[in-house]
Amino acid sequence: MSKAKDTYNRKNYSQLSVRLEKELIAEFKERCDMEKRAYADVIRQLLKTYLKTP
């Protein structure tokens, strides 16, 4: 990653780290790969949906 892009990302994004069961992560990755979806895109959509729910 270029220095400029790294600087931009640090200014505009936060990173979230979680520990989950290996089996759950394996299943998640398998499904994302099967559907040809990026992991971050799936998680981003889940967070947006969650935040819209009262």
Q: Which residues contact 28 (CB under 8 A, 6 or more apart)?
A: 39, 42
In this prediction the pTM is 0.79
What mean pLDDT comes out for the span 41-45?
97
C-beta separation of 42 from 34 below 8 A:
no
Q: pLDDT tens for residues 9-34?
A: 999 999 999 999 999 999 999 999 99
Residue spans of alpha helices (H) in the chain: 3-12, 22-35, 39-52
Return the C-alpha torsion angle 15, 17, 30, 44, nearest 10.
Answer: -40
Instruction: Enter the tokens of residue 46.
Output: 């889940």
